[in-house]
Structure 1
């Protein structure tokens, strides 16, 4: 039986529902009380958005023209692999497959794509600091991501002389909750801590629940200094930075409370 290191902690789990199962299970095994409250839903781009759909298709059909393909997230890995499998029964050769973070790399590995990732890094900054992306002038890269993602990766690659294209594979949307659901989940029961793994999830939390003092005084665990700075700017006062956004890092940060 797992040690009950999280006994008594009531933890708001805000990952998208399809990505939260492992974290919820780990919390329960260590005695915590996970409270699922997804703050993002992932909507793959489909044929109802003809322009965006056709652009993705064109990028994937040109896959063998790229020196490197970068998957931004596990969702980009999952949806991107479906696109690639549809048009490339065999992966094109001569491409560097790159992943942001171990979770993205693990998702790709499970789908048959072996991708390089920085062992102790989980964000664009870590990949950009890797020697693999130093001498890239005149090389062409494809970034697979969700709509509206950060521009740092593409901007930095371009500043190093590379050509960069995007394929925006999905949208991140804010789930709909009734006021009764929000009140009963966030305000009617005393939360010990809220787990936030992206800036968009943080903004959605405030949009849904409002910047009430009870919420802003609740402890947050976030995966990076960047998101900690965002949370602080929005009024949160009790913020702990985990080693990364993966389940194990979030659990370790929780256990330190």
Structure 2
């Protein structure tokens, strides 16, 4: 029997990924192990939203953060202030910001032309959906004395805030949602314990660390597809052996990596991207 491809991306983005993989003929089994929950507004959030016109740049790290930002600004700003430059970590976030606020969003150059994306050249040409690629944009190099707002979830990476602070920016970080983790279902725990799957696709370090708790050595030897070299490095420390690095976190990039993972001639290509 054909083995399933396991994915763990939550919400609508997970549905899009599942449908993209199914279109290639894959049997996809979603893993409902993480959900996103908007945080209630606190005094810090309210102050940030009221002062939104004081920021030079706003950086949003995910589509769900874009949704939370859109809902907040809709309450306080019937008409958005002008003069703010918006940035997104990836084309999906740019599209979500465009849908929510109708603004153009700066992202590293990407292969796909998404609504709302104002694609700019970064240090590499792959259009990575990573903080590193965003920080390579020329417009984020010289930010001394600029006020920058970072809209993110609880926890997560600190690279953006730390790097931009080092470059002289006056940073404000606001957490607008939390990640809630659940154990895999009993049937999925059994798949992870026995390695009974074709491949596992993970695009989040928190999810990778969470799922590793249920993976025995057989599962660790199965193909793991990740969206960045940073995640591949983490996967190696967790004991995963068969690593495939996609060219980004988009459904198309992950589907392409899955296709190459089944082709022995493509293994070296995956590892080198």
1:216 partnered with 2:223:
no
Please, which of 224, 231, 243 is the counterpart of residue 227 of structure 1? Answer: 231
**TM-score when scaled to structure 1?**
0.89
Q: How does 1:29-178 map to 2 (within 5 A)?
A: 29-46=23-40, 53-111=42-100, 112-119=102-109, 120-178=127-185
Gaps of 5+ in 1: 1-6, 48-52
Instruction: Name which of structure 1's ranges 168-177 and 146-155 shifts more when overlaid on structure 2.
Output: 168-177
What displacement does 1:188 show? 6.1
1-side partners of 2:165 and 2:48: how far apart?
18
Q: What does the per-residue CA deviation read over 1:219-246, in whole Å, with 9 as the maximum and x for residues that have no partner?
A: 1000000000000000000000000111
Which residue in the other structure is 1:4 paired with?
none
Contact 2:31 2:184 in 1 (8 A): no
Contact 1:8 1:31 in 2 (8 A): no
SS in 1 for 2:144: coil
Gaps of 5+ in 2: 110-126, 262-273
2-side partners of 1:140 and 1:214: how far apart?
49
What displacement does 1:187 show? 4.0
1:200 partnered with 2:206:
yes
Instruction: Name which of structure 1's ranges 159-168 and 114-123 shifts more when overlaid on structure 2.
Output: 114-123
Please, which of 6, 9, 22 is the counterpart of residue 28 of structure 1? Answer: 22
1:13 partnered with 2:3:
no
2-side partners of 1:9 and 1:26: how far apart?
17
Please, which of 191, 198, 213 is the counterpart of residue 197 of structure 2? Answer: 191
2-side partners of 1:80 and 1:9: how far apart?
39
1-side partners of 2:257 and 2:184: how far apart?
28
Which residue in the other structure is 2:245 paired with?
241
Contact 1:17 1:38 in 2 (8 A): no
Q: What does the per-residue CA deviation read over 1:16-44, in whole Å, with 9 as the maximum and x for residues that have no partner?
A: 13321111112222210000103321011
Number of residue pairs aligned between Structure 1 and Structure 2: 243
SS in 1 for 2:177: strand
Superposition CA RMSD, Å: 1.8
1-side partners of 2:19 and 2:107: how far apart?
26
**TM-score when scaled to structure 2?**
0.84
SS in 2 for 1:20: helix
SS in 2 for 1:170: strand
